[in-house]
Structure 1
Amino acid sequence: MAKAQKMEDPAVAEEISRYRLPDGLFAPETSLPHAFTVVANRVSLTLQKMYSERFGLSVVGWRLMAILGTHSPLSAKALAELTAMDQVSTSRALDQLVAKRLVSRRVDPSDRRRVVLRLSKKGEVVYSEVVPVLFAAENALMSGLSAEDSRMIRSIMRKLIDRSAEVLPDDGDWQTVLRDYGYADSSGLTPADAENSAREEPGVPSE
């Protein structure tokens, strides 16, 4: 068995510790990413039972086909950006879709340096069979909501998608996110800053 990786640079660990959360402040299972993942996984599982059995598609493969079904032609890079998936996973899934003759890969006539992707005729047939199940799954989710709640959720989701592209870009890094949006108290101090400030106050003994 491979040995566990050693802790990272102590400076990195210290940076993370600056933003540690007070006990009980946050529960991962109540976070937005967790909620989105739970919903997405349940929808994906429902769809996968259909498209995996009928067409041998993977979750990633279907997600790429879903975008190509309405946004063709696209480059592999643009497709990865629209699905927020890394280009390695996208490329691997595309190779499988091309091998299944569900997606065509052609040189763009208007720009010979660019390769574009689109659904093949066979891919369009598969897409037309899966989309009704996706539509039904979405309707099932929204059926318990009022018309106003439904409109509000769709509006907020569009804003969150745009916001995620702005503050969590593909070329971003977690340390910048932590520094810009990590925990700070009402005065704007991180826990480490607050401790240091307290130690520096007259009459407060240092450890």
Structure 2
Amino acid sequence: MAKAQKMEDPAVAEEISRHRLPDGFFAPEASLPHAFTVVANRVSLTLQKMYSERFGLSVVGWRLMAILGTHSPLSAKALAELTAMDQVSISRALEQLVSKRMVSRRVDPSDRRRVVLRLSKKGEVVYGQVVPVLFAAENALVSGLSEDDARTIHRIMRKLIDRSADVLPEDGDWQTVLRDYGYTEGGGQAPVDVGDAATDQPTAAGE
């Protein structure tokens, strides 16, 4: 009942209406998040065929291992911040990784209230076998680009990751984003034309 009442909140409806887009102004399939999802899904599906069949890993499990492979020891909270995933998904994946003995969980000797995570010896072996496939997938993606374009993409992606943490934080809300960055008549920024690149449909969720 509370959810239905919130959906019918006149103030919320009015705020959404103020930022309504003109017909044909913006297509969701031409958005950056959609493009990122398509690319990430295709890479994830390729990787998943390897690490799921060989090691029984989930997508979330591999993502955690990928971070722990170069940043450890870490707490579950730090993992959540680095991956932008929710604590529930991380907790479930960690239980699987610990049970498979790919991740070790220990009390931090410098702070007994803190539990830290790191790859086990077995986890390091698995990590060492999956990373070359990820490296090859990235090389496949940028193989048709010039070196300058490839460097530019990496530089911009780092900026977008940092920017997303600032303007789309975990404790943020959609109404603030809409109010601060939504379209307003006479002041809305026209979307970037990405041509035919946005016409592809996303693959089945593989992230």
Indicate the TM-score class for this superposition, using the shorter chain for normalisation: 0.7 to 0.9
Gaps of 5+ in 2: 189-207
* Distance in 1, Cα, partners of 2:27 & 2:187: 23
TM-superposed CA distance for 1:15, in Å, is 1.5
* Distance in 1, Cα, partners of 2:18 & 2:87: 33
TM-aligned CA distance change 1:9 to 1:185, over 3 Å: closer
Match of residue 192 from structure 1: none
Equivalent runs, 1:26-175 vs 2, <5 Å: 26-175=26-175
TM-superposed CA distance for 1:8, in Å, is 3.7
**1:81-134: CA deviation from partner (whole Å, max 9, x where unpaired):** 000101111111111111111101100001101000000111001000000000
* Distance in 1, Cα, partners of 2:150 & 2:118: 32
Match of residue 199 from structure 2: none
2:146 partner amino acid: S
Q: Is the 8 A contact 2:75 2:117 kept in 1?
A: yes
* Distance in 2, Cα, partners of 1:100 & 1:66: 16
2:168 partner amino acid: L
TM-superposed CA distance for 1:12, in Å, is 1.6
TM-superposed CA distance for 1:184, in Å, is 1.5
TM-superposed CA distance for 1:187, in Å, is 4.7
1:185 counterpart = 2:167: no
**1:1-25: CA deviation from partner (whole Å, max 9, x where unpaired):** xxxx744423222221111000000
Q: Displaced runs of 4+ in structure 1, greater than 2 A?
A: 5-11, 185-188
Match of residue 201 from structure 1: none
TM-aligned CA distance change 1:8 to 1:103, over 3 Å: farther
Percent identity (aligned): 87
Larger radius of gyration: 1
TM-score, length-normalised on structure 1? 0.86
Q: Is the 8 A contact 2:102 2:122 kept in 1?
A: yes
1:119 partner amino acid: L
